[in-house]
Structure 1
């Protein structure tokens, strides 16, 4: 994050604009709307700008800018002349005084940026791009405008009127947040939107009087194979309201960033022979936090019910009497194969697909080898990288042809995705050669040959 967004309270604060033309006028509109007192320094001034200066009770100083104009301790300064040298001078002098300064359309000479604004006062939403793309910021603002009803400003004002009473009644900040989220999901919001404020206040009073400490809940959420855009809408909603996030090694950093920023995040990732928290410990954590009244998001790579041990976790929750929800995710087989351009089924090549775990128990693959040797079938191996050589040899020993195509998809659906194609006979030797590391999905079947035509993701 290259810029830190803040919201300045400028009511009755004196601000300086250097420049008297149309660019200065555009900036003055926003500052005056925020309640600032505007002084303008310029040899000449646009009539509309002068009107705004008078309306703000500020002063027009009709002369060329000089260092003396910064004698007053302004809150912020905007350099908006059409002379670059003057704007640079303003910036340099403001920097010496630690004054916030913006040189319009001149990123290197800005200490702050003017964002695109969605005004639903007292709710204000801003979009900034560090000055790199103001047009894009404005386009995003337009999209957000359509998503935020005008009534949101009324709702923010209504909430402010009740904030003190809610805080007195509900001292715990986590519980208070749940209360407000319930209010915003209730009919109270609609009453405020339609202007029925008396009814809204009555409903709010009743909601506060009947409030009780919420029970905890666990959300078992499939995070998908890595690309954050493959998350379901429900997954995203629950991730952003959870108080605690307990996440796996396969949950990508961009997905974790989408969780609520102030949520407690606990890593319980498992790598081969290295479990940061054993499964019993994970189960205990879920129960422990839920029984404290927390909303817990158990975030798992792929789908929690496909080699994700999700079934074991909800058995534990059920036994402890903890409420839970399960949100399916796009499993690695679907996501990685699609991004690699390998369809799992195809009328000409594969009429069935089998999901298998290549995880070895006590060093030996325990798979129904005879059932797997079938020409028109796709095999998908999760966690099969370590035992890949033995798995390939067993398939060949049980009758599968040695030149059956195989694909290894490492870190599928992410920018680091790597795909290596070979056959049962030679794929194991390519692991070290191409530096393939976990997480890697293995696809075995004639459908792998379609990758040459269909590798759209690359």
Structure 2
């Protein structure tokens, strides 16, 4: 019998999931309030950069002969010199070309240069003066770049593609614009106003983080700005939290089948709020990448035929961390309530008096149906659907399954974790009266980069699984609902396989 580990894994994967992936550029937010910035040129591009810098509070010194100023730059300079304002001018025109003496005291320098020779000269002069430099549309002469911006100041989101695809950055910005309500800027200002008082009431740690999680939930649950009474209301909540005893909680989160885009928004918020994440072996790195950076991550995977954590040990870890006041996320592949032993975990936590919530996830069978374009309850084929475990805790076929019922031609059945039992599933269904010609599908690594699919008949099931291999989790679908899946799968991107009628030839196609 294979020895089982009783501790959380400290495998390389567990360590690597905590590191930040490579960055093409380091994103920074620069305080330019009251600082001098040099802009050489009077073009549309130079005017746009000057306006952006002025919006950040910089004093922009524009070096350009008057006859070379574009209309936009002229308008910008006129607004900056408006006599009705009591502020000093935010943009100052120096009506001549730039020269070596203009960089003293500048925080940064920008230029719109027509030739590479001029760009090279400007960049060298700025660098020699120790001033960071950007030459518009000439990345070879740029020490920094401007991203596409979503402005909900004081909330600012900047997007960069490292200059490779500005149109892509703009498309990302448009998508983010739709996710962030305009009133977010008012909520951010309220957060700024109450932050100092909240920090006095709440020491760093779980209580303070819980307060701000509640604040964020309020901000994103409405499209309106905060009201006058909410200022005092949030401070009262901070005081209540500060006086309450430290108590942790556990959230069981469904990570879905693997594709990070299939996570729910609620799952994302839980991952971002976690102090400790206990994650299964099947949870993808893409999902873990979305978790809070500071969270402690522990691999507690349970895989058939591999060293695994005992369920009792996982329960003990959840209790220990929660009692220490931590927010524990138990991250499970698929949906926590489908073959995830969530019931045992919930029972233990409730016995210990620990608060527990569940965030559903997309279970693998539903992801498979979506990928194949198959309705599991197509009214022409099935009046019911069953999700069935393909093996018992002892590694055999479950002995309590109603195989006669599973052979019913008017239903769809999906077997989870049935790879090693594929041959016995095939034979038992046939012995129970299901024809060998019944449509069947097998999908491994559903929604992941290495996803593979097979479509054929029940009589070919064992040979198909033998060919696909058992390296990745396998789903087996049986029933008339899959009758059209072969033609659907052929047009899709992952590798799809089918067996010839006599089982002698394996056909692979994309």
- State the TM-score, normalizing by the size of structure 1: 0.86
Instruction: Tell me the equivalent position of 1:20.
Output: 42
Give the direction of change, closer, same or farther, for the CA distance of 1:77–1:313 in structure 2 (3 Å limit): same
Give the direction of change, closer, same or farther, for the CA distance of 1:90–1:436 in structure 2 (3 Å limit): farther
Instruction: Tell me the equivalent position of 2:422.
Output: 388
Decide which moves more: 440-449 or 372-381: 372-381
CA contact (8 A) 2:206 2:327 kept: no
- State the TM-score, normalizing by the size of structure 2: 0.78
User: Could you say what secondary structure the match of 1:349 adopts?
Assistant: coil
User: Could you say what secondary structure the match of 2:109 adopts?
Assistant: strand
Decide which moves more: 178-187 or 27-36: 178-187
Instruction: Tell me the equivalent position of 1:80.
Output: 112
CA contact (8 A) 2:103 2:131 kept: no
CA contact (8 A) 1:50 1:60 kept: no
Q: Which has the higher contact order (CA 8 A, sep 6+)?
A: 2
- In the alignment, structure 2 segments of 5+ residues that lack a partner are 1-22, 82-88, 494-510
Instruction: Tell me the equivalent position of 2:237.
Output: 207
Structure 1 position 136, deviation (Å): 4.4
Structure 1 position 175, deviation (Å): 1.8
CA contact (8 A) 1:303 1:328 kept: yes
User: Could you say what secondary structure the match of 1:359 adopts?
Assistant: coil
Q: How many Å separate the matches in 1 of 2:395 and 2:233?
A: 63
Q: How does 1:365-444 map to 2 (within 5 A)?
A: 365-367=397-399, 368=401, 369-435=403-469, 437-444=471-478
Q: How many Å separate the matches in 1 of 2:387 and 2:226?
A: 53
Give the direction of change, closer, same or farther, for the CA distance of 1:393–1:94 in structure 2 (3 Å limit): farther
Candidates 40, 59, 62, aligned match of 2:62 = 40
Structure 1 position 340, deviation (Å): 2.0
Structure 1 position 330, deviation (Å): 2.0
Residue-by-residue CA offset, 1:154-179 (whole Å, 9 max, x unaligned): 44334333323322332223321212
Q: How does 1:330-345 map to 2 (within 5 A)?
A: 330-345=362-377
Q: How many Å separate the matches in 1 of 2:304 and 2:128?
A: 56
- What is the RMSD computed on CA atoms of the aligned residues? 3.2
Structure 1 position 426, deviation (Å): 3.2
- In the alignment, structure 1 segments of 5+ residues that lack a partner are none
User: Could you say what secondary structure the match of 1:75 adopts?
Assistant: strand
CA contact (8 A) 2:389 2:398 kept: no
Instruction: Tell me the equivalent position of 2:507.
Output: none
CA contact (8 A) 2:255 2:362 kept: yes
Q: How many Å separate the matches in 1 of 2:435 and 2:150?
A: 63
User: Could you say what secondary structure the match of 2:273 adopts?
Assistant: coil
Aligned length: 452
Structure 1 position 57, deviation (Å): 6.3
Give the direction of change, closer, same or farther, for the CA distance of 1:396–1:193 in structure 2 (3 Å limit): closer
Decide which moves more: 106-115 or 169-178: 106-115
CA contact (8 A) 1:88 1:109 kept: yes
